[in-house]
């Protein structure tokens, strides 16, 4: 790819953030293409999924992502699902498509696309832990979601936040039950993090989270002891009063009125402190699955693409980030 190539000849980004590569492929969106990649199960990356299925688009993703999608959305379309392991190549028209690992929620993938003329385009999707689990793509054109695209969006404690979360949960368990609120996939990540850091209290889950955890275990995650909250064992554990109940973030509004438990909400929009107390029994922990500003810059600096495309539909302060990269790293940068 030459440095002066017109980027729109290679890609466009539609109004909901889908990355469209010719007539062959769209990533994390719905469009008039042969196939669609879903990088992970979060709702902003599965926009228009049912439309894609109705239009008989081939759906590409990691095996865990596709199983979770089927479970969450309740669809059964095995003939349309194309699971790809990390590093496995898939031929689609004039493109070769490869999924590479990203640390975000379990099953998350970056996308590397190679055209027959040798041009390479990469999309990071959401990520954290650059070079420490998240592979650093080195394509000629890199597309990035600058979720925390402003220089003020920095969490100096990110390296220690998993230990801080586990210590807080352990302390709160000494007082009684703990409820943790997080998005799909993040629940299973947190279960794994807590087990790795010595939290041994039983986990209780509602039906959907329990089913998702069973799928995650089949794909190699180690989650320790957990129970369906409505099972006989779950009811007995709840009666005993020593457990961690993990559920979706949207449940907080309904459950936070229970003053007999400690409530812990996980959020990426906290930068001043690793956690803070909201009231007598509620806490907010700055546990994010996204890179902060410094890690976004680190990824781009280590990747060194000829062209960086900031996906403005998915970026907070995308214009600020694009300007920073162009001026500080001397990389041709476009905001689309």
| pLDDT digits 0-9 by tens, 282-326 | 999 999 999 999 999 999 999 999 999 999 998 889 999 999 999
Question: CA–CA separation, 187 vs 106, rounded Å?
Answer: 10
> What is the pLDDT confidence band of residue 6, given thresholds at 50, 70 and 90?
low
What is d(CA 4, CA 24) in angstroms, rounded to the nearest whole number? 24
pLDDT at 4 over 70: no
Total Cβ atoms within 10 A of residue 61: 27
d(CA 206, CA 227): 9
| Strand spans (E) along 239-319 | 244-248, 262-266, 275-279, 282-285, 307-310
pLDDT at 2 > cutoff 50: no
Band (pLDDT 50/70/90 cuts) for residue 257 is: confident
Q: Which pLDDT band, with edges at 50, 70 and 90, does 3 fall under?
A: low
pLDDT at 76 (0 to 100): 82
Mean pLDDT of 31-50: 96
pLDDT band (50, 70, 90) for residue 253: confident
Q: Which two tokens stand for residue 229?
A: 């909250």
Say what percent of the chain tops pLDDT 90.
90
The average confidence (pLDDT) of the chain is 94
pLDDT value at 60 more than 50: yes
pLDDT at 254: 86
pLDDT at 111 over 60: yes
CA distance 223 to 194: 9
For 118, the token pair is 């040798």
pLDDT > 90? residue 256: no
Does 134 score more than 50 pLDDT?
Answer: yes
Closest to 246 measured CA to CA, from 221, 274, 266, 232: 266
Domains and CATH numbers, the chain: 7-152+291-335 (3.60.15.10), 158-285 (3.40.50.10890)
Q: Check residue 260 and give left, alpha or beta (phi > 0: left; psi -120 to 50: alpha).
A: alpha
């Amino acid at each position: 790819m030459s440095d002066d190539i017109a980027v729109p000849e290679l890609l466009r980004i539609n109004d909901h953030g889908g990355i469209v590569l010719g007539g062959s492929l769209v990533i994390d969106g719905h469009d008039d293409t042969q196939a669609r990649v879903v990088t992970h199960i979060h709702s902003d990356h599965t926009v228009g999924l049912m439309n894609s299925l109705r239009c008989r688009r081939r759906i590409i993703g990691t095996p865990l992502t596709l199983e979770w999608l089927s479970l969450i959305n309740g669809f059964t379309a095995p003939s349309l699902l194309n699971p790809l392991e990390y590093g496995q190549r898939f031929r689609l028209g004039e493109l070769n498509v490869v999924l590479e690992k990203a640390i975000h929620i379990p099953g998350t993938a970056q996308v590397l696309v190679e055209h027959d003329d040798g041009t390479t385009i990469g999309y990071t999707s959401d990520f954290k832990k650059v070079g420490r689990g998240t592979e650093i793509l080195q394509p000629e054109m890199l597309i990035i979601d600058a979720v925390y695209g402003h220089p003020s969006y920095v969490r100096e404690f990110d390296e220690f936040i998993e230990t801080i979360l586990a210590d807080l949960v352990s302390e709160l368990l000494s007082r009684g039950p703990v409820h943790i609120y997080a998005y799909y996939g993040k629940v299973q990540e947190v279960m794994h993090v807590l087990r790795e850091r010595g939290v041994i209290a039983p986990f209780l889950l509602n039906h959907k989270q329990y089913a998702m955890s069973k799928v995650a275990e089949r794909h190699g995650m180690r989650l320790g002891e957990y129970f369906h909250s409505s099972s006989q064992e779950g009811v007995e554990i709840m009666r005993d009063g020593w457990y961690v109940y993990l559920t979706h973030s949207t449940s907080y509004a309904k459950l936070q009125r229970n003053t007999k438990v400690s409530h812990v909400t996980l959020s990426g929009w906290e930068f001043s402190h690793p956690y803070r107390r909201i009231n007598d029994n509620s806490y907010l922990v700055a546990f994010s699955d996204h890179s902060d500003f410094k890690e976004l810059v680190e990824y781009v600096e280590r990747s060194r693409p000829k062209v960086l495309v900031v996906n403005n539909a998915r970026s907070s302060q995308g214009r600020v980030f694009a300007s920073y990269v162009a001026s500080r790293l001397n990389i041709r940068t476009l905001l689309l």
